[in-house]
Amino acid sequence: MPTSEKTYTFRGAEDLVPRVRDAFAVFGSILDEGGGRDEAMALWTAVSRQRRELAATENQSALLRATLEVFIEAAERLKRDREHLHAYEEWAAEDDEAHAVREGALEAAADRWRE
C-alpha cells in the first residue's frame, strides 16, 4: 500500500535528541521487564492532561513537537517514580530498627486498648 510522506520540521531544545532516546529506553525497559499496564496509564494520563492544547494546535510541526514533549515528560516522570520506588524498597529492606520501633508502639497501644 503506497503512503505519502511529509517532512516535519520544528525547533527543539538542544537536549531534545538525548531526551527522546532516554524516553524510548525507559519505555523499552518497562516492556522488557514485563510491565506496562500502569506505565501505559501514566502515558495516557499525560496525553489526556494536554488534550485541549494538542487539539488546538493548528500547525502540524507544533503538534508533533508538543506530542513528543508529552511522551518525553511522561517517560521522565516514570523514570523518577521508579527510582524513588527502588530507593524506598531498599530502605524498607534495611530498616529493621524502625520496624522494631513501630511494632513496639503498636504493641504498647494494643496493651492500653485492652486495659
Domain boundaries, the chain: 16-114
0.75 exceeded by the pTM? Answer: no
Residues 6+ apart with CB under 8 A from 73: 46
Predicted confidence band at 19 (pLDDT cuts at 50, 70, 90)?
very high
Q: What is the pLDDT of residues 84-99, one digit of tens each?
A: 888 888 877 776 667 7
* Long-range contacts of the stretch 72-76 (C-beta < 8 A, 24+): 72/19, 72/20, 72/22, 72/23, 73/46, 74/23, 74/42, 74/43, 74/45, 74/46, 74/47, 75/22, 75/23, 75/24, 75/26, 75/27, 76/19, 76/22, 76/23, 76/26
* Residue 46 and residue 30 in contact, taking contact as beta carbons nearer than 8 Å: no
Q: At what angle do helices 37-49 and 60-94 cross, to 10 degrees?
A: 140
Q: What is the pLDDT of residues 49-59, one digit of tens each?
A: 888 887 887 78
